[in-house]
């Protein structure tokens, strides 16, 4: 099995034919990813669709760029939920942080957002490609620091990992993820932590199933309404 080597930091990445990704930093995180590049290219169709949309775009300025995985991609009521803002949805597939790093330049394209709302919860999803919490945290910091370097005047809103019925067995790891993410945000004034997990819970701390689709992982319209309220309450401008 080939190895993906992520040297995490603020540098630009160069991709080699031997499936290694490099970032200029003094911290290395090594982990097995997959044979060849089939895993990281599994959402190629989604990426092509994003590129086709860009080809039709005439104005790349926007108030909010939503970036992340399927919970962003499936937010179809985004324009109705944020009527006072121009929004762009750059969610795709069931993306992980590794996908987002790999496709970074395509995802951001030429867009010049005033705000970025970010959500991605698939690096620890209960499957064979899961990262450890420490590896996940290094990837998050790498992505956020890179975004801030490229968009220093843009405010970033980092949404917490949601607690769902389907991933109930991962709750302890998800709590740790959220604690680390919140701590990181509190140390940097250019990024804001938004708790979108708590509004989805019942009084006893269990996920409110009425806020999820039948898959018990993704949100329904009411669930996204609660996310909208949380983001607005975080001071979106």
pLDDT at residue 237, rounded to an integer: 85
**21, part of any domain:** no
| pLDDT, tens digit only, all 237 positions of the chain | 333 334 333 333 333 222 333 333 333 444 444 444 676 688 999 999 999 999 999 999 999 999 999 999 999 999 999 999 999 999 999 999 988 998 999 999 999 999 999 999 999 999 888 999 999 999 999 999 999 999 999 999 999 999 999 999 999 999 999 999 999 999 999 999 999 999 999 999 999 999 999 999 999 999 999 999 999 999 998
229 occurs within a structural domain: yes
| pLDDT given for residue 33 in this prediction | 46
The answer to whether position 68 is within a domain reads yes
How many structural domains does the chain have? 1
Cα–Cα dist 88/60, whole Å: 9
Contact between 217 and 187 under an 8 Å Cβ cutoff? The reply is no
Distance CA 183, CA 166 (A): 26
Residue ranges making up the domain that contains 212: 42-233
pLDDT at 25: 33
32 domain-assigned: no
Within a domain: 75: yes
Q: Model pTM?
A: 0.85
Is residue 26 domain-resident? Answer: no
User: Mind spelling out the 3-state secondary structure of the chain?
Assistant: CCEEEEEECCCCCEECCCCCEECCCCEEEEEECCCCCCCCCCCHHHHHHHHHHHHHCCCCEEEEEEEECHHHHCCCCHHHHCCCCCEEEEECCCCCHHHHHHCHHHHHCCCEEEEEEEECCCCCCCCCCCCCHHHHHHHHHHHHHHHHHHCCCCEEEEECCCCCCCCHHHHHHHHHHHHHHHHHHHCCCCEEEECCCHHHECCCCCECHHHECCCCCCECHHHHHHHHHHHHHCCCC
User: CATH number of the domain that 146 lies in?
Assistant: 3.40.50.1110
Q: Is residue 183 part of a domain?
A: yes
| pLDDT on residue 1 | 38
- 19: in domain: no
């Amino acid at each position: 099995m080939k190895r993906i080597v992520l040297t995490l930091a603020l540098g630009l990445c160069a991709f080699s034919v031997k499936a290694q990704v490099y970032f200029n930093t003094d911290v290395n995180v090594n982990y097995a990813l997959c044979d060849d590049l089939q895993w990281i290219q599994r959402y190629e169709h989604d990426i092509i669709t994003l590129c086709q949309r860009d080809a039709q775009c005439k104005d790349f300025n926007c108030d909010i760029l939503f970036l992340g995985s399927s919970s962003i991609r499936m937010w179809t009521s985004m324009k109705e939920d944020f009527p006072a803002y121009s929004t762009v949805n750059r969610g795709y597939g069931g993306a992980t942080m590794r996908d987002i790093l790999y496709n970074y330049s395509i995802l951001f394209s030429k867009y010049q957002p005033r705000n970025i709302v970010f959500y991605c919860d698939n690096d620890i999803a209960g499957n064979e490609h899961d990262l450890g919490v420490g590896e996940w945290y290094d990837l998050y910091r790498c992505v956020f620091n890179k975004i801030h370097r490229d968009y220093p005047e843009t405010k970033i809103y980092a949404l917490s990992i949601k607690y769902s019925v389907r991933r109930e067995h991962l709750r302890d790891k998800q709590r740790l993820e959220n604690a680390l993410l919140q701590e990181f945000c509190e140390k940097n004034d250019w990024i804001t932590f938004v708790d979108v997990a708590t509004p989805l819970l019942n009084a006893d701390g269990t996920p409110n199933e009425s806020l999820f689709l039948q898959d018990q992982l993704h949100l329904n319209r009411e669930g996204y309404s609660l996310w909208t309220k949380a983001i607005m309450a975080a001071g979106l401008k």
